[in-house]
Amino acid sequence: MVASVPYVKSPDPHLLGTYTPEVIKAYIESRLDAVTLIVRDNMEDPLDDLCMVQQQLEQLSVIERCEYNKTCNLLVQHFDQKAREYENLLQTHNSSPIDITVHELQLTWLVYIIGSAIVGRLSVTTSDEHDNMDAELVIRVLQLMSLTDSRLPQTGCEKLELAILSFLDQVRKMHSSDQAQKATVYKRLNEVFGLNDEQMLLSFINRKIITNLKFWGRSEQIITKTLVLLSDLSVHFNSVRKLARLEEVQFMLTHHTSEHFPFLGTSSSLNEMRCRTMFYTSLSRLLMFDLGEDEERFYNFLTPLTNQFESLGNVLMDTKCFPNEEVKKAIIGLARDLRGLALPLNARIQYTMLFEWLYYTDYLPILLRAVELWAHEPAITTPVLKLFAELVHCRTQRLAGNVSSPMGILLFREASKLICIYGNRILHLEVTTDQLYPMKLKGISICFLILKNALGGNYVNCGVFKLYGDDTLHNVLDIIAQLILSIRQSDLLEYPKLASAYYNLLNCLSQDHVTYLTALEPRAFVYILESLNKGLAALDSAIYISCCTILDSIVSYIFKQLQLKTSTFPNKKLRSLSRENTQFLKVVELNSELLQNMMSSLLNNVLAEDCRNQWSMSRPLLVLILLYEDFYRSLKENIIRGQPIEKQQTMAQWFEDLMLGIERNVSSKNKEKFTQNLSTFRRDVANLPKSTTYSTDNSYQVYTETNYSISV
């Protein structure tokens, strides 16, 4: 109702101005009064469910701005009282810990509510008077923050810290824009804190970020929330431009060690170490803003990571000793740090600096050695595999364009070594069913992602490997085939991330490297066909579309090879098939029923009421029809016979029109024509009377005893 007030033109009074302050007052007092009972009786605390709290505050932020003068006065009154009592408790010896906790949680609620009031600026037209009120609220929370920070070396309240971080994020959104720089709110901030513009406000927020990273390393929640705030600040160009000049930011760029930020040390838990990727992503953005081609500055920034690599290399590369748990954690942290560092490196120059540092100083073999030693420990292998998946990712063409550099091939070789090392060990790992995904399938899915990113980046000419007798590509494709065969078909669609990685890899291979698919051992190729058959029945549209695209590439290749086999142009050398392709066509012939089954599925999907992705399914359907004309004719006759007698001739005519103007080739033009025909066919079928039925079962089963040969 409050949100609708600006749009109401009725002259009748709505009385919202009378009741909204009462609603706000009741909410605030109910939250504050409940804290005492929650603490003393050890009851469930609503502050433990921050999602619910945020939902309430989103609604409250609109209501608060209706009669903002009254809301602000009420908040100031309660906040001043509780803050004064809290400060007195801290200064009084032998104060009751329960009383301190009660006041900390009451202030937590008030900080959240003030944050919701501040963010409510977006929903209304503000004035200088409102800006003054906002300033009074902001000042009080910042003063409380200074008080709590002074206690951090000894103790602190985690829930209050989370509320303050949420508040700072709201302040960032409201007051970190060029339009807001001259807002009245900065006048009061300047009087109390000396913050007279956005630059100084950002500096203040960054000091808080550094304080939290230094003293709250034991709290995963606070570290994560703090790093999210830093990440949000470092995403936008305008804020990065101002942040990069701050003394606090320069401190982080030159002192990112466990000495200054304990959460970067090996004493942190594995869960806490997940934050490190986000931290280095933010640092990388800030560093890259004005780095240019300054290699010295870049390598100076990498000094802490260089020192870690040097010490780890001395231990890991020594075959006589087996590293301890601290070394394991160091590898995990380093892999997460490097992945975060690589994520924002979109420019080729900066990415090349990182690659040369990793490759030419022999740091990549240290990571490979770690995977070799602990392939059975996903806590170690997952960060390293994800790091390589990022390194080989040609994000914004950062790996492409430099034809004089061997970087792409060198990187591909290292990534292939990693996949082979990990794959050869994980294949022999026996795990229980409940541990199958975390211990085995997750790592395999990342291997699929690595190869997909490497091949899909188009920065490696894969033909050079065979040309120069390098078995890198052969080895990695061989181990990938073994990894594929190690996955049960039933597990593919059960784990969404595995399915996505698997079908995306096949999509990449089928688009630009279909010859490598056809060169796989027969078992692996048949497995792929079976997985495509399952994918065509998947509910996930992305998987369904991928399967259609993959199938189109494979059957188009089959059709072209068969055309080549029966061609009559003079040059016999051009007409001859390679030994691999001859064997491949034999495998296809022996497993024709799989392709026929997929044609049946696609055609039945066209006839179904919930026909999905018609364009995607039309491409492989045409090629399959051209390959298996006899089977298609049997399917068509079966469907026509399933119609009422009076509709059979109409249905037969629709099938004739479906192939009208279609030639015996798999050109894009021909496929486009078939897609148009299929759209018309689908529209006609959809308009059939509801009483008309046709078989949508898998029609292929009816004809298994008939040997349908491939049409050429």
> Do 514 and 560 form a contact (C-beta atoms < 8 A)?
no
In tens, the pLDDT along 390-446 reads 999 998 889 887 788 899 999 999 999 999 999 999 999 999 999 999 999 999 999
pLDDT at 179 over 90: no
Look at residues 44, 51, 114 and name the one whose alpha carbon lies nearest to residue 78.
Answer: 114
In tens, the pLDDT along 301-327 reads 999 999 999 999 989 888 777 788 899
pLDDT at 697: 46
Tell me the C-alpha distance between 165 and 228, whole Å. Answer: 10
* DSSP per-residue letters across 14-72: --HHHHHHHHHHHHHHHHHHHHHHHHHTTPPPGGG-HHHHHHHHHHHHHHHTTTHHHHH
pLDDT at 449: 98
Tell me the C-alpha distance between 694 and 27, whole Å. Answer: 61
CA distances from 515 to 465, 520, 601, 684 (A): 14, 9, 26, 39
- Tokens for 239, please give them: 């804020």
This prediction has a pTM of 0.89
In tens, the pLDDT along 626-661 reads 999 999 999 999 999 988 898 899 999 999 999 999
pLDDT at 178: 47
pLDDT at 45: 93
pLDDT at 307: 95
pLDDT at 67: 78
Residue 122: pLDDT band (50, 70, 90) is low
**Is 325 buried (19+), middle (13-18) or exposed (0-12) by CB count in 10 A?**
exposed
pLDDT at 686: 82
Look at residues 202, 169, 143 and name the one whose alpha carbon lies nearest to residue 54.
Answer: 169
Phi-psi category of residue 15: left, alpha or beta, with phi > 0 → left and psi -120 to 50 → alpha: left
pLDDT at 121: 62
Mean pLDDT of the residues in the chain: 87
**Which helix (H) or strand (E) covers residue 205, if one does?**
helix 198-215
Which has the higher per-residue pLDDT, 83 or 201?
83
Tell me the C-alpha distance between 611 and 561, whole Å. Answer: 31
Q: Indicate the residue type of 550.
A: I
pLDDT at 610: 67
pLDDT at 1: 44
Share of the chain above pLDDT 70, in %: 89
pLDDT at 431: 92
Tell me the C-alpha distance between 685 and 607, whole Å. Answer: 7
CA distances from 514 to 278, 519, 531, 556, 582 (A): 37, 9, 16, 10, 15
Alpha-helical runs (H) found in 92-197: 97-119, 128-150, 158-175, 185-193
- Tokens for 202, please give them: 């950002």
Tell me the C-alpha distance between 510 and 512, whole Å. Answer: 6
- b/e for 59-81, b at 16 or more Cβ within 10 A? ebbbbbbbbbebbbebbbebbee
| CA-based radius of gyration for the chain | 33
pLDDT at 251 over 80: yes
pLDDT at 708 over 70: no
Residue 700: pLDDT band (50, 70, 90) is very low
